[in-house]
């Protein structure tokens, strides 16, 4: 069984101040228990160091910890070290990372200007299908953060992805798509750190964290990421 965890960073909207890039990241493993054990251990270390239990441990919350008075300075002063350790922990096991990066200004208008959620479904489906053959052809459990708002009221995410995987990839094994709360799912917590790191790489031109897991990157779906 291949377990895939999916998360996104950035926005697909065109409002003033929205991001230039949009990232979809997937974390794939066949050894879910080992991944969960590694993340659980890192979470426990951070909580024991004083991280508030009511604040979710995410890339954004750790990076922004200097601005949160509830988080001890002894933690926020080590934020780069902490994020690096999480990324090393995630990538230390048998995992592969696949992602899609889109520079929104260069996406085709018929995709970007479509009804809300169409672009997200399209980018997710394309990434999953292009990485499928070489990386996770077999039984799949796909886990997505249920708080993700990039959905389309007429074209549901689950049905679209199932159609793409079966129609384009000839997927004939079991397939389940679960929507879970990230604060209760260790795999989603792990992929959050990856999508956040990739977003910093493209949006803020900061490769610091992407370098940590570069060797685990499998398929990259590039939609004009560096085009001016």
Identify the pLDDT of residue 46. 98
Going by C-alpha positions, the residue among 190, 137, 201, 135 that lies closest to residue 6 is 190
Q: Is residue 71 part of a domain?
A: yes
Q: What is the number of domains present in the chain?
A: 1
Q: Which tokens sit at 217?
A: 């990157």
Q: Is residue 11 part of a domain?
A: yes
Q: What is the pLDDT of residue 149?
A: 58
Q: Report the pLDDT value the prediction gives residue 152, as an integer from 0 to 100.
A: 54
Q: For residue 143, what are its two tokens?
A: 């886990």
Buried b (16+ CB within 10 A) or exposed e, 179-199: eeebeebbbbbbbbbbbbbbb
pTM: 0.95
CB 196 within 8 A of CB 9: yes
State which residues form the domain around 172: 2-223
8 A C-beta contact, residue 199 and residue 102 = no
Task: Judge whether 24 lies within some domain.
Answer: yes
Give the number of residues written for the chain: 228
- With respect to residue 119, please indicate whether it lies within any of the assigned structural domains: yes
Two structure tokens written together for 98:
């696949």
Q: Looking at residue 60, which CATH number applies to its domain?
A: 3.30.420
**Dist CA 73 CA 79 (whole Å):** 10
Is 228 inside a domain boundary? no
pLDDT of residue 133: 96
Residue-level pLDDT at 151: 55
Give a yes or no: residue 92 inside a domain.
yes
pLDDT, mean of each 10-residue run, the chain (228 residues) = 96 85 97 98 97 96 97 98 98 97 92 84 96 97 82 72 96 95 95 98 97 98 88
Say whether 177 sits in a helix, a strand or coil. Answer: strand
Report residue 26: phi and psi, to 5°. -125, 140
């Amino acid at each position: 069984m291949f377990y895939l965890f999916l998360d996104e960073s950035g926005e697909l909207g065109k409002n003033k101040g929205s991001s230039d890039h949009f990232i979809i990241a997937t974390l794939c493993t066949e050894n879910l228990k080992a991944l969960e054990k590694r993340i659980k251990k890192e979470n426990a270390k951070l909580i024991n160091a004083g991280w508030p239990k009511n604040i979710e441990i995410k890339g954004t919350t750790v990076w922004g910890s200097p601005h949160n008075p509830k988080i001890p300075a002894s933690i926020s002063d080590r934020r780069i070290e902490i994020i690096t350790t999480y990324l090393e922990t995630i990538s230390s096991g048998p995992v592969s990372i696949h992602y899609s990066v889109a520079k929104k200004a260069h996406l085709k208008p018929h995709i970007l200007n479509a009804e809300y959620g169409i672009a997200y479904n399209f980018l997710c489906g394309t990434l999953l299908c292009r990485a499928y053959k070489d990386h996770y052809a077999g039984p799949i459990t796909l886990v997505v953060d249920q708080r993700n708002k990039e959905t389309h009221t007429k074209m549901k995410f689950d049905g679209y992805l199932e159609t793409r995987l079966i129609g384009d990839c000839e997927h004939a094994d079991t397939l389940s798509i679960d929507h879970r709360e990230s604060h209760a799912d260790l795999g989603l917590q792990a992929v959050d750190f990856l999508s956040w790191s990739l977003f910093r790489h493209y949006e803020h031109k900061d490769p610091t964290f992407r370098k940590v897991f570069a060797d685990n990157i499998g398929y990259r779906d590039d939609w004009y990421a560096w085009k001016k």
